[in-house]
């Protein structure tokens, strides 16, 4: 399986297999993505992946041509 390097907020980096659920990848990195419905409708779990908004609860880590993905949390974790 293809691996991709994920750059999380706060300078964390992890190596993840493409196709891993975003929430699982975040948990493995020690990053908390806020969640609500877990069904793709509320938007609480939105993250920014290379500038594209993704609903983490229903999406998986995609392949990246550069081999790396930059993740920003769309919502303030201290909100």
Q: Which residues bind ligand FES (CB under 6 A)?
A: 35-38, 40-45, 55, 57
Q: Which is nearer to ligand FES, 52 or 66 (CB)?
A: 52
Q: How far is the CB of 61 from ligand FES (least distance, A)?
A: 15
Q: Which is nearer to ligand FES, 19 or 36 (CB)?
A: 36
Pair type for strands 3-7 and 68-73: parallel
Q: How far is the CB of 59 from ligand FES (least distance, A)?
A: 9
Q: Which is nearer to ligand FES, 16 or 55 (CB)?
A: 55
* Termini Cα distance of the chain: 36
| Cβ atoms of 45 and 75 closer than 8 Å | no
CA distance 45 to 43: 5
């Amino acid at each position: 399986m293809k691996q991709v390097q994920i750059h999380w907020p706060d300078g964390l980096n992890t190596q993840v297999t493409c196709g891993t659920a975003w929430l699982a990848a975040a948990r493995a990195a020690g990053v908390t993505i806020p969640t609500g419905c877990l069904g793709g409708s509320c938007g609480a779990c939105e993250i920014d992946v290379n500038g594209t908004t993704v609903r983490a609860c229903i999406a998986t880590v995609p392949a990246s041509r550069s081999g790396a993905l930059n993740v920003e949390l769309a919502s303030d974790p201290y909100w």
